[in-house]
Amino acid sequence: MRVRKKHWANPLLNAHPEIVIHNPQERVGQWCSNLSLRNLHVEIGGGKGDYWIEMARKFPEDCWVTVEKDSSVAAFALRKMLESPQPNMFLINGDAKDLNLWFDHQEIDVIHLNFSDPWPKKAHHKRRLTHQSFLQNYQKLLKNDGEIQMKTDNMDLFEFSCQIFSQNNWICMDISVDYRRNSHPEDAISEYEQRFIDLKQPIYRCVWRKRNESK
């Protein structure tokens, strides 16, 4: 998601340290514990926040962290979230390549990847959020039986990702090539997802479970 740089973005992000966690490395292992929240969900590349906000409302007993590298986009998410803030929501304005600095080994229950940038050129595939290098981190940070839930409109990215998961011995829990054909009130619609629904394009979705480390 590209937006013009907003002059108000950094001041707004800095004004809310209770939500925008500027030193996420200080929270390692403690994301849920302070508030007695149940499961830890981390959305990577959260964009303008629709999914994060809606899911945190649907599941208030869980902790919802969104990671967005673009500060202007992150500020849009924060601004929307501040209309009805909830204590179970946190935002990291940073790059997911640093995920392993912010979360403990086996701390995360679910990682959400919604409409990640497809990076169509082969030379750029290593930037895909389901590239092997990211997957290795996810593997470490997810709990045993932890899951990755991925949605996309992009068949090439979907195939690439499913291949990587399967080659790395992850367990496929669910797969759909037209997810919104049926109603899924338990799962929020992201901004990008709504665009593709409006265009009547199918939504691809898969859920992959990490194989337990002790087995």
Ligand X SMILES: C[S@@+](CC[C@H](N)C(=O)[O-])C[C@H]1O[C@@H](n2cnc3c(N)ncnc32)[C@H](O)[C@@H]1O
- Catalytically annotated residues: 117
Return the DSSP state at 176. E
Stretch that binds ligand X, among 31-39, 100-108, 136-144, 189-197 (CB under 6 A): 189-197
Burial of 99 from C-beta contacts in 10 A (0-12 / 13-18 / 19+)? buried
Nearest Cα neighbor of 92 from 23, 188, 5 is: 23
Count the Cβ atoms, other than its own, within 10 Å of residue 19.
17
- Separation CA 81–CA 89 (nearest Å): 9
54 near ligand X, judged by CB under 6 A: no
Contact map string, positions 110 to 129, toward ligand X, x by CB under 6 A: ----xxxx------------
Nearest Cα neighbor of 78 from 123, 24, 19, 136 is: 19
66 near ligand X, judged by CB under 6 A: no
Interface with ligand X (CB under 6 A), residue total 21
109 vs 153, beta carbon nearer ligand X: 153
Q: In whole angstroms, how close is the CB of 21 to ligand X at the nearest point?
A: 14
The correct pick among 56, 68, 107, 111 for binding ligand X (CB under 6 A) is: 68
192 near ligand X, judged by CB under 6 A: yes
Strand 171-176, strand 204-209: pairing: antiparallel
Name the residues that contact ligand X, by CB under 6 A. Answer: 1, 44-47, 67-70, 73, 95-97, 114-117, 190-193
